[in-house]
Structure 1
């Protein structure tokens, strides 16, 4: 890309939110798989991290 070409703005837009201030959060009803809300390995990762933490705290 040369300096003569105009810059294109980003196309990402955040999903709708609920609440204000500290309690602001994404609207769960508006989220979809396209928003990256699925993480099938989350529970397994959490359990592994807990085991690792427990193993290091026992020493």
Structure 2
């Protein structure tokens, strides 16, 4: 079994901003960082049905 702490020592992506405005730099993110989420739009529709226009 792999050591679960091995991943914790990997290099974190670059950040922008400071303090509570700190965020990951989108230009530095890759699919290996978990940025590939092709079903995001569908998930948004499922979790925010009130955003959809009502049928007329």
Asked if Structure 1 and Structure 2 have the same fold, meaning a TM-score greater than 0.5 normalized by the shorter chain, the answer is yes
TM range (shorter): 0.5 to 0.7
SS in 2 for 1:14: coil
Gaps spanning 5+ residues in structure 1: where? 1-7, 55-59
TM-score (norm 2): 0.64
**Structure 2 residue aligned with 1:49:** 47
CA shift for structure 1 position 23: 0.9
User: What's the Cα RMSD here?
Assistant: 1.9
* Structure label with greater radius of gyration: 1
Deviation sequence 1:18-54 (CA, Å, 0-9, x none): 1101111101111111111111111100101112xx4
Gaps spanning 5+ residues in structure 2: where? 51-56
